[in-house]
Amino acid sequence: MPGFVEARDEHGELTVVVEPARLVEACEHLRGEGFNFLADISAADYLGWGERGVAGYIGTADGRDLNRPGSQGLERLPEPRPKRFAMSYHLLAIPDGRRLRVQAWLDEDEPVPSVVSVWPTADWHEREAFDLMGIRIEGHPNLTRLLLDDDWEGHPLRKDYPIGGEPVRFSGEE
Amino acid sequence: MAVAQGGPKIYDGTRVPSPIPTMLLVPEELQGSEDLLQVNFGPNHPSTHGVLRLVVDLHGESVVGLRAVIGYLHTGFEKNMEQKTWWKGITYPERIDYLSFQNNELVFVLAIEKLLGLEVPEKATWMRMCLAELNRIHSHLVWLGTAALELGAISMFWYCFRERDQILDLSEMVAGTRMHTRYFQAGGLAEDIPRGFFPEARKFVDWMPKAVDDYEALVDQNEIWLERTKGIGLLSADDAIALGQSGPVLRGSGVEWDLRKAQPYLAYDQVEFDVPTYQNGDVWDRYKVHMDEMRESTRIVGQCLDRLEEMEGEPWIADDRKVVLPPREELHTSMESLIHHFKLVTEGYRVPEGEVYVAVESARGELGCYVVSDGGPRPWRVKFRAPSFVALEATATCMSNALIADMIAIVGSLDTVMGEVDR
């Protein structure tokens, strides 16, 4: 398979990690293998993965750490992740029902090629990943914000984007 | 790649717009024409099923350009769920798709259980299946009522909501609330099934097939209904798969694909039901799939009730004190139970590190839940694969060569719930 890095089998689900640069090649190969259905694209941010006190929350503007006590003291530290962002492509083969997760790991600002040419359904999934997670998709025909306003600042699903931190405007002057 | 075999060809080649698959661009010869009119359809419009906004370019009555704008109902469910413990998070998915709430709850609970490796008692599995199917009927009824209402069939709405109310009554009896029940827990059910549930549910199962016949009698031979649904909003099997369609949209295009049959979860491999599939890929066929599915779901509910009635007195939740709340009465006598209760409520249970993707067949199609855990008491990342979100991507393809009046029927037939689209 083009761009193959490693394969994992966890919980009965097969994950294939590929190099981001050769993602499209890999996806075309897989579509040829019968994976004609792209179910989902999920982006995940691993900033602060395995560090104390940042599992899901960093803090509000006034410095409160709402993370305690729940996320403190993991029983064991999770396996380190290679890079900050993971893009997971959940594939399905109809009609035989095989499933596969293709994963590409990205550093901040590292682009990932668009797979719209392979599966047209990737259009909105990739726009959502760009909008909410700030993933740079290269070669997407229409990479604009999907769920948030065009002038929104930041990408809310990133771990360094605090909840309750967005400014609320009450009048035109503010 | 031919997927549908034997059926008539819906159209040759592909109609998915290029280069942007979800947008119809005004053809070059019409650009700058004085006859073009751009209309904003929505976000506040009674026929858009919520807050969908479609920007349409009209040339006379034909739609020559189309762009869907979503996000008006974006509430950040996925971000919020990262802040909640696993068991508090169960309340969120239900509100994502507020019509198919049991299925949404189910998929998240199944994902937790998969990571935990938790065995669920048989009674809980069957009750989950029973409620998931009742919920499918509920969702289809709301779809049918509102979609028909938009095409002018007002009385359909009242008939559908009559039966919908019966289902909500059953929900209320089981869980105490009519919608967003939070009745499924990691490990099983929140409470035992109340005794009065069975006779009431039986009454419904006996009644429902007649009700579906009634709905069909209302519109099936109605000239207006036929004119407005047949041959409208075509979507071929290959295009449907390329666009990731699932559920009734996919089955209306001639692809026999239902996760309940293809990759059975719960106990769907132990019940008898058929997967209704239609070949023409138009609004009419999607409507027929919904009607048949209501009948099939009623069949499944009947079989679930048969099994559940034999399970009187069996446990409804796993006996795993690290995940499941101890029985209320033990709190008065057992120190250990009290500690478990306190820890579970304040801190929550820890879910082993890992990532899973669980998919169920919700009323609208493949509902997926991708969950990442870092081993702590909160999910690291939760992502839902929302079938309505994907269904809306097919709007542009279904709308090629369509008239403005067809748009209502076509968007309605895709059965979208904006809560789920925007999450």
Task: Tell me the per-residue pLDDT of A68-106, one tens digit each, with 9 for 90 and over.
Answer: 444 444 556 778 888 889 999 999 998 888 999 999 999
Chain B neighbors of A148, CB-CB under 8 A: 71, 74
Q: Is A95–B257 a contact, with Cβ atoms under 8 angstroms apart? A: yes
Widest CA span in chain A: 59
Distance CA(B365)–CA(B357), nearest Å, equals: 15
Nearest by CB to B244, which of A10, A119, A157? Answer: A119
pLDDT tens, per residue, chain B with 423 residues: 445 555 667 787 788 888 888 888 888 888 878 888 898 887 877 666 778 888 999 988 889 999 999 988 888 899 889 888 888 899 999 999 889 999 999 999 999 999 998 899 999 999 999 999 999 999 999 999 998 888 888 899 999 999 999 999 999 999 888 888 889 989 899 888 998 899 999 999 999 999 999 999 988 888 888 988 888 888 988 899 999 999 999 999 989 899 999 999 989 999 999 999 998 889 999 999 999 999 999 999 999 999 998 988 888 898 888 888 888 888 899 999 999 898 888 888 888 889 999 999 999 999 999 999 988 788 999 999 999 999 999 999 988 888 988 888 898 898 888 888 988
Q: Is B355–A10 a contact, with Cβ atoms under 8 angstroms apart? A: yes
Question: Minimal Cα distance from B237: which residue of A?
Answer: A94
Tell me if residue A32 falls in helix, strand or coil.
Answer: helix
Specify whether the CB–CB gap between A118 and A33 falls below 8 A: no
Between the alpha carbon of residue B80 and those of residues A84, B75, B90, B421, the distances in Å are 21, 9, 12, 17
Q: Is the dihedral of CA B308, B310, B312, B313 positive or negative?
A: negative
Q: What is the pTM of this model?
A: 0.90
State whether residue B262 sits within 8 Å of chain A by CB. yes
Torsions phi, psi of B69, nearest 5? -115, 120
State whether residue B243 sits within 8 Å of chain A by CB. yes
At A41 the pLDDT is 93
Specify whether the CB–CB gap between B387 and B362 falls below 8 A: yes
Residue B186: CB atoms within 10 Å: 24
Chain A neighbors of B262, CB-CB under 8 A: 95, 97
Pairing of strands A13-18, A99-106: parallel
Specify whether the CB–CB gap between A90 and B370 falls below 8 A: yes
At A61 the pLDDT is 47
Nearest to B417 by CA among B97, B174, B136: B97
| Residue where the block lists tokens 């035989």 | A96
State whether residue B25 sits within 8 Å of chain A by CB. no
In angstroms, the separation between the Cα of residue B338 and the nearest Cα of chain A is: 19
Between the alpha carbon of residue B287 and those of residues B8, B248, B276, B407, the distances in Å are 18, 8, 11, 15
ipTM over 0.95: no
Question: Minimal Cα distance from A39: which residue of B?
Answer: B244
Nearest by CB to B82, which of A56, A90, A92? Answer: A56
Nearest by CB to A55, which of B3, B262, B378? Answer: B378
User: pLDDT tier at A60 (50, 70, 90 boundaries)?
Assistant: very low
Distance CA(B112)–CA(B119), nearest Å, equals: 11
Question: Minimal Cα distance from B111: which residue of A?
Answer: A11
Q: Is B353–A78 a contact, with Cβ atoms under 8 angstroms apart? A: yes
Average pLDDT, chain A: 81
At A169 the pLDDT is 66
What structural domains does chain B harbor? Answer: 77-422 (1.10.645.10)
At B5 the pLDDT is 57
User: pLDDT tier at A173 (50, 70, 90 boundaries)?
Assistant: low
In the stretch 202-231 of chain B, residues with CB closer than 8 A to chain A read none
State whether residue B6 sits within 8 Å of chain A by CB. no
Residue type, B97: D
At B151 the pLDDT is 86
Chain B neighbors of A97, CB-CB under 8 A: 262-263
At B10 the pLDDT is 79
A80-89 pLDDT per residue, tens: 888 889 999 9
At A64 the pLDDT is 44
Tokens of A48: 């602060």
Q: Is B393–A123 a contact, with Cβ atoms under 8 angstroms apart? A: yes
